[in-house]
Structure 1
Amino acid sequence: MILEDYRIYGDVLVFDTTYRTNRYNLICAPFVSINNHWHNCMFACAFIGNKKTDSFVWLLETFLKAMENRTPTSIFTDQDQAMANAIEQVLPNTRHTLCIWHLEQNAITRFGALKKDKEFKDFFSAGILLSQRSESTHHAIGFRASNANTLTEFYTIFKKTTNRWRSTEKYNEFTCSKSIAFTSLLLSGMLKHATQLNDFGEKVFTLSLFRDFEQEFGYSMATTIQMIGRNEECLLYQVALEDKPWSANQVNYIHESQSVWCT
C-alpha cells in the first residue's frame, strides 16, 4: 500500500528531522507528502542517531531502495547543511527546497521591515507549498509522541497515525465519488471541464482540489492583461490583479510549443 502511494504521490517529498519523540533521544525522520485530497500521506519513518552527512546518505539510499529507486521531483527540508550535502549526493537530479515554515521564521527575524514594504516581492511563499502547508512537518504530522516514549510505544502511535490518515482518505474518496462539484461562477469551458470525469471515469479534480482550482479561476477573472512585447517565437504579457497593480507579473507564451512561464 505504501509503495503504491509513493508511485502515485511521490513526486514531492517533505523530509524533516527537527524533533525527537522517544526516550532514547533518537532523531525521528518521517518521509511525508500529500494525496489528491490535499491531506498528509506517509511513506516511511526512520530513527537516526545523529545529523551527520553519512547518516543522511544511508537513510536516503535505504529509502530509495525500498521505493524501487524512484526519485522525487522535489524535496522540502529544514535548513540542515549535512542533509543538503546528502541530498546533493544521493538525489542530484531532485530539486531541493527549504520548507516555507523555516523560511518564514527567518523572514520574521532577519528581514523585519522589508516584509512591510510593498515594493519587496514576497518570494518565500511563491506557491511552493501553498497556503495549507505553511506549518512545520511536526505539526502537520500530529504525532502524539513525547520524549518519554519507547520505540515500541512510538510504533503503536505511528500505526494509529497512519491508520487514521488512511481512514480519512477512504472517507474522502467515498464522499468525492458520491458528490458533484458546484460553483457560483458561470460554468465556462475550462471550469465545466474541471467538474466532469476524465477518460478513466474518474473526476478530473477531487472536491478539495476543485475548490483550489475554482479560487485560482476566480482570480484569473479579476486580472488585467496587457501585451508588452513580442517576437517571432514569444509573446510577452503583463498580468496583475485589478486592485493590486504592484502584484504584476510578466508572462511569456511560446506559441510553437504551447508553453507558458511567468516571473
Structure 2
Amino acid sequence: MIIDYAHFGDVFSFDTTFGTNKEFRPLAVFIGFNHHREMVIFGAALLYDETAESFKWLFESFLKAHGGRKPKSIFTDQDLAIAKALAEVMPETWHGLCTWHIMQNGIKKLGNLMKDGSLFLRDFKDCMYKYENESEFEEAWNKMIQTYTMKDLSWLNGIYKLKEKWANCYMKRAVTLGMRSTQLSESLNGDLKDYLKSNLNMDDFFEHFEMVVGQKRDKELEAEYNAREKLPPLCLKNSPLLKQASQVYTPTIFKVFQNEYDYASAAIIKDRNCSQPVHEYTVMLLEKVREYKVLCSPISRTISCSCRKFETFGILCCHALKVFDILDIKIIPDAYILKRWTREAKNGYIIDSIGKDVNGDVNLKVT
C-alpha cells in the first residue's frame, strides 16, 4: 500500500461502512485509481465511532504511515465530522463531496418536488454536472429556486454554500482525475460485507482484507501483462502523436486520449491572435455553441485551455490538440505527459516513513 500510495495517492476517496452493515461496525477505507484507472487501496482502519476526534487521529496516522505525503484532493460524503478533521489535518488538500450521496440526500429531502412529471431532479443534476461556467451555474440555480415553489429551502441553501465541492464549474480548480464520488468504496464494501461481523476478531478480518487487496493487485497485474503484450489499435495509423500516446499511456488512458484526438478533428479555430509571443485561440466544436480559450507559446511549446482538462484529469483536451495540430506540433511535449497515467507509472524508488527503501513483492512481478 505504501508503494501504491506513493505512485497514485494524488486523489482518493474516503468512506466508512457505518450504517451499511447490520453490526454497525465502522470500517474506514482509503481508495484511489491506479494507472489503469482501476481500484487501488491505500489503507483501512476499524473505528469505534465516527467523531471528529477519531477521524483526526485516523488521518494523522494515515499520513504518518505514508511519510507525511498529503493528497491533492479527497472525496467524502457530506459528513461534518470528516470535514472538520480534514480541515485541521489536511487544510491544503481540496475536499470534494460525493455527488451520489448528494443526489440521494436530495431525493430524501425534496422527494415531494419530483412527483407528477416534475423536472426538478433533471435541473438539479444539470447544476451539478452540466455547467462549465460559474455565471451559467448561478443563473440556472436561481432559476431552479424560482421555478419550484418550496416552503423549506434549508437543505438547498446548505448544499449551495458547499457548491465549490460538487458543482462542475467550481471543480475545474481541483485535480480530480475524473473522480466525482465515493462509489469505489461501495464496490469494496461488497467484497467485505460478509466479514464485518461483531463476532469476528480483528486478526481474522484483516487477514481477509489482505486477501481482497491481493485480488485487486492480481487484477492490476493482469492489466499490466495485457498492456505489455500488445499496443492498442490506432484510429489513425500514421499519426505520430497517436503512436507516441499508444506507447506511453496505459491502454485505458490511451482510449480516453484517443477520444479527445477524435474530437479535435471536429474542432474549429473561430478566432486567433498571434501578435504576442503567447498566441490566443478561440476553439469550438462543430455543432456546439460553447467556446474555449487556448493560450499557446509555439517557442516553448506550452499550452493551456479554459476547460482545464489537463489540470484536472491529466491529459490534453481536444481544444489544445487542435492548436497543436495547426502549429504542426506532432509530438506531445514531456510536460503534458503525466507519469501516473503511463505504463512506467510504478518505476522508481519509494521511501517509507522511516527513510528505508520499500520493495514490492518479487513474486507479483510480471515475468
- The TM-score with structure 1 as length reference comes to 0.80
Question: Would you say the 8 A contact 1:238–1:251 is kept in 2?
Answer: yes
Q: How does 1:1-263 map to 2 (within 5 A)?
A: 2-20=1-19, 24-105=23-104, 112-114=121-123, 121=131, 123-124=167-168, 128=176, 130=178, 136-141=183-188, 142-146=190-194, 148=197, 150-152=200-202, 153-196=204-247, 204-227=248-271, 232=276, 235-245=279-289, 248-253=290-295, 255=297, 258-263=302-307
Q: 1:10 to 1:30 in 2, by over 3 A?
A: same
Tell me the alpha carbon deviations over residues 180-221 of structure 1, each in whole angstroms, 9 at most, x when there is no partner.
22122344232121123xxxxxxx111111111111221222
Post-superposition offset of 1:137: 3.2
Code of the aligned partner of 1:3: I
Tell me which residue corresponds to 2:144: none
Code of the aligned partner of 1:148: K
Tell me which residue corresponds to 2:326: none
Find the aligned partners of 1:50 and 1:249 in 2 and give their Cα distance. Answer: 49
Post-superposition offset of 1:100: 3.3
Code of the aligned partner of 1:239: V
Post-superposition offset of 1:251: 2.1
Q: How many percent identity over aligned positions? A: 32
Q: 1:217 to 1:19 in 2, by over 3 A?
A: farther
Size of the aligned set, in residue pairs, is 251
Find the aligned partners of 2:275 and 2:257 in 1 and give their Cα distance. Answer: 31
Post-superposition offset of 1:113: 4.5
CA-based RMSD of the aligned residues comes to 3.2
Q: Which has the higher strand share?
A: 1
- The TM-score with structure 2 as length reference comes to 0.59
Code of the aligned partner of 2:306: C
In structure 1, list runs of 5 or more residues that go unmatched: 197-203
Which region of structure 1 is more displaced relative to structure 2, 208-217 or 154-163?
Answer: 154-163
Aligned residue for 1:44, secondary structure, equals strand
Question: Would you say the 8 A contact 2:234–2:243 is kept in 1?
Answer: no
Find the aligned partners of 2:24 and 2:126 in 1 and give their Cα distance. Answer: 42
Post-superposition offset of 1:20: 4.8
Aligned residue for 1:16, secondary structure, equals strand
Tell me the alpha carbon deviations over residues 46-83 of structure 1, each in whole angstroms, 9 at most, x when there is no partner.
12222221111100000000001111111111111221
Question: Would you say the 8 A contact 1:22–1:154 is kept in 2?
Answer: no
In structure 2, list runs of 5 or more residues that go unmatched: 111-119, 133-166, 308-367
Q: 1:228 to 1:81 in 2, by over 3 A?
A: farther
Post-superposition offset of 1:160: 2.3
Higher RCO, Cα 8 Å, sep 6+: 2
Code of the aligned partner of 1:219: Y
Aligned residue for 2:192, secondary structure, equals coil
Find the aligned partners of 2:219 and 2:213 in 1 and give their Cα distance. Answer: 10
Q: Which has the higher helix share?
A: 2
